[in-house]
Amino acid sequence: MCRPGGIVAARDADYAGFIWFPRLPALDLWRDLYQQAARANGGEPDAGRRVLSWALEAGFDDVTPTCSVWCYATAATREWWGGMWADRILHSDVARDLLQLGLASPAQLDEISAAWRDWAAAPDGWVAIPHGEILCRA
């Protein structure tokens, strides 16, 4: 609930819209597995494309939809993003869920982790992450 005159703002990523270079098949597997794990836990990994719909469904009629894109392509940002996912796919709730749900094997998670490290080490490595955004006025 938002009081009259209030503002609600939201932004979320859209995992299906992630794009990267170089193309590494294990990163396609990562995206597919992440989406399955998120949905198994009641989440929506492609929320970015749905935020406008959800705002309208919630009863807002003054909604400004926009989007933005995160880009990781410098050595420092590749090291951070790739290293974060290389570790997270092995040592996090996502990893635990993928294994417990039988969606991935330890060998697949190792392969994905190595792919994120390979991506981060590539001097031409590039990833773009789209985000859907809304600004709602009550």
Sorted by where each begins, the domain ranges of the chain are: 7-137
**pLDDT tier at 49 (50, 70, 90 boundaries)?**
very high
Question: Residue 102 pLDDT more than 90?
Answer: yes
CA neighbor of 105 nearest in space, from 87, 116, 119, 90: 90
**pLDDT tier at 1 (50, 70, 90 boundaries)?**
confident
Number of residues assigned to the chain = 138
pLDDT of residue 50: 98
Q: Please enumerate in sequence order all residues whose Cβ is within 8 A of that of 132, keeping only pairs 6 or more positions apart, or say none.
A: 11, 12, 14, 47, 48, 49, 50, 51, 52, 65, 67
Question: Residue 47 pLDDT more than 80?
Answer: yes
d(Cα 31, Cα 13) in Å, to the nearest integer?
A: 13
What pTM value is reported for the model?
A: 0.90
Omega cis (within 30) before 106: no
pLDDT of residue 20: 97
